[in-house]
Every structure is written in C-alpha cells, then in structure tokens.
C-alpha cells in the first residue's frame, strides 16, 4: 500500500468502496466485498468468483486459489516474481487491492492460508497486521526484513488457530525484543500448531532457550525446520535435550555451518532410534540430499544421495559418463546440470537419460553460451534432442530451464512440449535476454489454456513489453495455474463424496445444486435427469470428467432443489466422440 505521509489510512473504508471496484483489465468486476457466506454444506460464494477477485488482486501481485484437499478453503499467495518488472500499477488499483486483501483476511473464514513474500510484507504490512488478528488462518508463510515489524510481533500471539507457521527473515541482525517472547507464547498456547519453520532469525541466548523450552512443553509439534542462526552454538545443549525428549516430533530439517551444532543435533536424534524398527525401506526414508559431481562419477555409487549436481566446470567426459550411469540410479530424484549450446555429446546423453527414467522428479538445466565450433557443427539438433526427451518423459514434476542466447524457436518448442505434458506440475523459466522471455510469455499464455495439470509457473528475467499487454498475458498464465489448482482441489474432494455413486452427491460437489436434483416433468413425457435410477446414473457418471460441468462457475449460483426450472441451465458437455471412447 503506497504510503501517504501524514494521512491515516482506513482499510475498512477502502473495503466499502469495493462495491464499485474496477478491475485492471475490465471496466468493472462487480461487488466482491460481500461477507463470508459459507456453511457446512456449501462453500463461500467467493469461490465461484475467483477470476474476478484475482483481477482485483493482480495489481498487488497477489492471488486467491483453492487449497487441494481442503474443500471450500482458499489460499492468498504472492505471485510477484517477474511481475515486479512490469510497470507500476495505478495508485487507484493498488488501493483497491490492499483494501480487498484486508477484507478477505478480516471477514472471510474460507481464507485459510496466507503466503507473503518479503516485498509484499514490506509494502502491505499495515493492512496485513490490522486484519490478521481477526483472520481464521491455518497456515502462514511470511518472509520479512529487519528490523522486524513490531506490528507482526504483536500479531503472532493472536494466531492461535495456526497449524503451520513458516517465518523467514532477511538479516542476521537481532530481531525485535518482542518477537521471541511472542513466538514462545504462541507455541505454548496453540493447540493446533504441528509444523514450525524458522530461518534467518537471530535471538539472544536467553530468548532462544525460552523458545526451546516452549517447544518441549507444547507436545503437539510434529514438523520442525531450523537454521543455524535460529539456534547458535551456545544453545546446542538445549536443542539436543529437546530432540531427545520430544515425543511428538516426526520430521526435522536442520542446516548449519557449525560442526559442533550439527553433532548436537545428531546426539539428540540418535537415542530416538531405539524406538524405531529397522526395515528394508530405509533408503526411501532418509537421504543426505545433494551429491556433487566434478572430477569423476564415483559419488553415484552412494545410494544415500537423492539429488545430483554437476559442477559448472565439470569435464564433458565426466558428464557423459555419469549421465549414462544414471539409468541404474533409482535413488536419484533430482538433477541439476549445465549444458553448453551446441554440445551434442552432453545433450545426447542427457536426452537418453530423461526419456528412459521413471524416477526423476526434478530437472534443472542451465543453458550456457556455446563454443563457436560446437554451435556451427550441431546447429539446433542439440536442443531438439532435449525437447524431444522431455516430450517422452512421464516422471518429471518440476522443470527449471534458464539460459542466454536462446532463439524464439528454441523457447517456443520448449513451451509446446511442456504444454502438451500432463506430468509437469511446476515450470520455472529464466532468460537473460528480454526478447527470449517475451517469446516464452507470448507462447505460454496461449498454450497453457489447454493444459490442466501445470500448477505453478515462475519467471525470471525482464519482459520487453509495456503496459496492459504484458500484464494481460501474465494474468492469463497465473489464472490458468490457479484454475488447474482448483481442478486438483475438486479432484481431491470428489472421491470423498462418491462412495454412494449418487446423482445428488455428484451435483452437490460440482456446485449445480444445494441438496438434490428435482426436475419439472416435460410436456412430452420424455425422461428427465432425476428419473434415472442409481444403476443408470452410475453408468453415465463413468464417462464424466470434472470439467464437464460447464462454467463460468464464477458467476453461477447453486440451484436449490426447489427451483428446478433452473436445472435447464445445467449443461454436461459431452464431446462429439461416442461416450464409450472416453473410458
């Protein structure tokens, strides 16, 4: 929220203005300021208006999306990334966005998760801190700088509904004095806090010991993530004691440069092993993370590693040898590699591995500047090998591609390959050249429309576009990923309501009716939807997809069982092919 020095800002008044809100692309998006309307049977009306809501939020680079596995609950998340490189939105639109965020957190119980990056928190700390005490958040992910806002220190203690808390601060300097006390009090008071992650937060020795004592007292924490700045060497004894005494902790992630502190962590963990039965799946349950390959491929023999990273100056022969051995390394789930443009040997070995593996989950490729001789000999064949291998791979979930001097054709072929895949969930693309990223956004904003599985897109670089055109294309990309997350949320909820295979249950889940299906009899006596017996309906439902209920669901209100004339507006889209072909 832009500061207006000397003039207090009323976010309550700003929320009132939302009944005449105008989006950044359309002239008006209607009233989005209505109160929470959810019930036990029916999600809040705002879930059917997410596109319009996100148009209001887009100037602030925020987005509402459904939470998979939690029907009727929403997450408010930052999407800044490359958006920060777009022209600054108008002040009017920024004020609308801030007011809407404030209203959502304060009045909508359906907003259960908030994820705010450092730039967002610094800019909107005032409306966030004002609304958070009245929110119903179950998860808070917050990145902030120092000095830590006293406002957030005061707010933390009130968030007793939290189940997950993740805090990441940008400096190693001491936090404000109130923060450790507030955090320790929250840990003791919250009956639901099962996951806690702290990074970059430096505390005084006594405050740190007080926090560790509170963790011991809580008895409900299951997942803990800490870095070395949170627990200095002077507190390693207390950390070790906590790990030995905790009966609820099931997952620990700890990073530190101090060997003594790491030993203290191990001393705390090892006694717990007496309570764990050994089994043959130990390699699936523990790993040491990253394996660096530089001079030879020997580290691949150690199955404790789950990630493989090729040093940037690793010799070509070492890369090729290691890549050919990866087919037999089922323990490796992640690969990070640099490829020079035009290097056919490395590209070919990488392509062979990618198209044959069924265990690789993450792939990160850095495309480096080519040697002139290599590029002249290889032409574009090196890149086609990589793209074609991605088209044949069905295991990669997270794909990260970055580089320089990539042609429009290279970028467009990559986008086409990814858009056609159903296994890739997250796509990250970075480019040094403005025209390269421009070509990527242009292609993806169109190609992603037909993709229903890509859940996250992150862009790094600079767009060579100005004004609304670039904003529209980015909005289309982010809305498509939001739509896909919504489909995932619906898919997660759907099986819970289909045990009885009933028509009414299906129609309630898809938002067509509130309770049950009732149709007016036709004058010609032809059969209606509610005339189908359960056996007939079960046969029909076998051929229905989740997105066969036609939208736009954002503007459609659920039909009540008594207003059966409205059922004429319900459409099940069946494509031109026979039903039997859709099994």
- Give exposure, 243-275, as e/b (b: 16+ Cβ within 10 Å): beebeebeeeebebeeeebeebbebbeeeeeee
Total number of domains constituting the chain:
4
The number of beta carbons lying within 10 Å of the beta carbon of residue 303 is: 12
Tokens (6 digits) for 462: 């600079």
**Are 27 and 89 in the same domain?**
yes
- Identify whether 44 is part of a domain: yes
Tokens of 71: 């029907």
If asked whether residues 259 and 288 sit together in one domain, one would say no
Name the residue with tokens 């406002």: 151
Classify burial at 486, counting beta carbons within 10 Å of its beta carbon; exposed 0-12, middle 13-18, buried 19 or more: buried
Residue 142, classified by CB atoms within 10 Å of its CB into exposed (0-12), middle (13-18) or buried (19+), is: buried
Per the domain annotation, does 338 fall within a domain? yes
Answer yes or no: do 183 and 118 share one domain. Answer: no
**Does residue 2 sit in helix, strand or coil?**
coil
CATH code for position 325: 3.80.10.10
Are 79 and 206 within one domain?
no
As a whole number of angstroms, the distance between CA 371 and CA 405 comes to 12
In a domain, residue 479? The reply is yes
Same domain, 430 and 518: no
Residue 48 inside a domain? The answer is: yes
Q: What is the DSSP string of 139-203?
A: EEEEEE-SSPPHHHHHHHTT-TT-SEEEEEES-SSBPPTHHHHHHHHHHHH-SS--EEEEES-B-
Residue 5 maps to a domain: no
Are 303 and 424 part of one and the same domain?
Answer: yes
Q: Which of 484, 518, 533 is the last residue of a domain?
A: 484
Q: Are 180 and 302 found together in one domain?
A: no
Taking the C-alpha atoms of residue 367 and residue 452, their distance in angstroms, rounded to an integer, is: 28
Whether pTM > 0.75 for this model: the answer is no
User: In this predicted model, what pLDDT tens digit does every residue of 482-502 receive, in sequence order?
Assistant: 998 888 767 666 555 444 457
- Residue 154: how many other CB atoms lie within 10 Å: 15
Q: Are residues 220 and 334 in the same domain?
A: no
Q: Which of 19, 93, 37 is nearest to 61 (CA)?
A: 93
The C-alpha atoms of residue 215 and residue 194 are separated, in whole angstroms, by 11
Domain that holds residue 183: 149-163+171-273
Spatial CB neighbours of 181, under 8 Å, sequence gap ≥ 6: 207, 210
Same domain, 16 and 80: yes
395 shares a domain with 468:
yes
Lookup: tokens for 119? 């730039």
Buried b (16+ CB within 10 A) or exposed e, 434-468: eebbbbbbbbbbebbeebbebbbbebebbbebeee
Query: Where a domain ends, among 433, 453, 484?
Result: 484
Residues 6+ apart with CB under 8 A from 174: 202, 203, 204
Indicate left, alpha or beta for 182 from its phi (over 0: left) and psi (-120 to 50: alpha): alpha
Domain membership of residue 4 (yes or no) is: no
CA distance 42 to 560: 11
3 within domain boundaries: no
Instruction: Give the ranges where 326-463 is alpha helix by DSSP (H).
Output: 344-356, 372-378, 381-392, 408-419, 434-447
* Full pLDDT tens readout for the chain, 583 residues: 444 433 334 444 444 444 545 556 664 555 455 666 666 667 788 888 888 899 999 988 899 998 887 878 999 999 866 555 666 777 888 888 899 999 999 999 899 999 998 878 878 888 888 999 999 999 999 887 656 667 777 888 889 899 999 988 765 445 566 788 888 889 988 899 999 998 888 777 888 888 888 888 888 899 998 887 777 777 777 877 888 888 888 888 877 666 666 666 666 665 554 444 444 444 445 556 677 777 777 777 777 778 888 887 788 888 899 899 888 888 889 999 999 888 899 999 999 999 999 999 999 999 988 665 555 555 688 999 999 999 999 999 999 999 877 888 999 999 999 999 999 999 999 887 777 888 899 999 998 988 999 999 998 877 766 556 778 888 999 999 999 888 876 766 655 544 445 778 777 777 777 778 888 877 777 878 877 777 677 777 766 655 556 544 433 444 444 344 344 344 444 333 333 333 3
Please confirm whether the linkage preceding 258 is cis (ω < 30° from 0): no
* Residue 438 sits in the same domain as residue 518: no
Q: CB burial class (10 A; 0-12, 13-18, 19+) of residue 422?
A: exposed
- Rounded Cα distance, 399 and 365, in Å: 8
What is the phi/psi pair of residue 224, to 5°? -130, 130
Same domain, 546 and 477: no
93 in any annotated domain = yes
Say how far residue 414 (Cα) sits from the centre of its chain. Answer: 22
Q: Residue 566 is encoded by which pair of tokens?
A: 């409205």
């Amino acid at each position: 929220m832009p500061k207006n020095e000397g003039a207090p800002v009323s976010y309550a008044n700003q929320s009132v203005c939302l009944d005449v809100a105008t989006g950044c692309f359309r002239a008006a998006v209607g009233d989005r300021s209505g109160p929470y309307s959810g019930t036990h049977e029916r999600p809040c009306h705002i879930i059917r208006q997410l596109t319009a809501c996100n148009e209001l939020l887009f100037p602030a680079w925020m987005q509402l999306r459904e939470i998979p596995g939690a029907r009727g609950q929403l997450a408010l998340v930052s999407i800044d990334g490359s958006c920060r490189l777009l022209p600054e939105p108008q002040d009017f639109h920024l004020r609308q966005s801030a007011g809407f965020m404030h209203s959502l957190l304060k009045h909508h119980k359906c907003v259960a998760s908030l994820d705010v990056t450092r730039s967002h928190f610094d800019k909107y700390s005032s409306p966030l801190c004002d609304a958070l005490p009245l929110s119903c958040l179950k998860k808070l992910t917050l990145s902030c700088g120092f000095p830590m806002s006293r406002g957030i220190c005061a707010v933390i203690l009130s968030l007793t509904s939290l189940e997950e808390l993740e805090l990441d601060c940008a400096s190693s300097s001491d936090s404000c004095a109130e923060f450790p006390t507030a955090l320790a009090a929250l840990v003791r008071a919250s009956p639901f806090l099962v996951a806690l992650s702290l990074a970059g937060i430096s505390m005084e020795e006594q405050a740190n010991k007080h926090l560790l004592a509170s963790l011991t007292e809580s008895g409900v924490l299951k997942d803990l993530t800490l870095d070395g700045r949170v627990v200095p060497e002077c507190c390693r004894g207390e950390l070790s004691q906590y790990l030995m005494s905790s009966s609820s902790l099931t997952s620990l992630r700890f990073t530190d440069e101090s060997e003594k502190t790491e030993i203290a962590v191990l001393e705390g963990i090892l006694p717990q092993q007496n309570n764990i039965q050994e089994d043959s799946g130990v390699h699936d349950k523990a790993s040491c993370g990253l394996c660096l390959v530089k001079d030879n491929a020997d580290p691949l023999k150690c199955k404790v590693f789950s990630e493989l990273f090729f040093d940037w100056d690793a010799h070509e022969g070492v890369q090729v040898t290691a890549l050919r051995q990866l087919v037999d390394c089922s323990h490796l789930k992640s690969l990070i590699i640099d490829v020079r443009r035009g290097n056919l040997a490395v590209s070919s070995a990488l392509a062979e591995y990618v198209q044959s593996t069924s265990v690789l989950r993450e792939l990160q490729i850095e495309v480096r500047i080519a040697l002139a001789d290599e590029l002249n000999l290889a032409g574009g064949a090196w890149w086609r090998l990589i793209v074609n291998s991605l088209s044949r791979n069905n295991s990669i979930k997270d794909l990260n591609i970055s580089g320089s001097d990539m042609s429009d054709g290279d970028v467009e072929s990559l986008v086409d390959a990814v858009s056609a895949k159903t296994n890739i969930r997250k796509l990250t693309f970075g480019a040094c050249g403005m025209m390269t990223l421009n070509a990527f956004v242009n292609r993806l904003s169109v190609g992603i429309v037909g993709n229903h599985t890509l859940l996250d897109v992150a862009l790094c670089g600079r767009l060579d576009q100005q004004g609304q055109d670039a904003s529209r294309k980015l909005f289309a990309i982010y809305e498509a990923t939001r739509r896909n997350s919504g489909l995932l949320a619906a898919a997660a909820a759907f099986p819970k309501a289909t045990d009885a295979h009933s028509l009414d249950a299906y129609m309630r889940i898809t938002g067509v009716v509130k309770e049950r299906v009732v149709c007016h009899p036709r004058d010609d006596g032809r059969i209606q939807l509610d005339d189908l017996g359960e056996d007939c309906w079960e046969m029909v439902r076998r051929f229905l997809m989740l997105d066969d209920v036609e939208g736009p669901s954002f503007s459609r209100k659920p039909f009540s069982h008594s207003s059966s004339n409205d059922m004429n507006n319900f459409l099940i889209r069946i494509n031109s092919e026979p039903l039997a072909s859709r099994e």
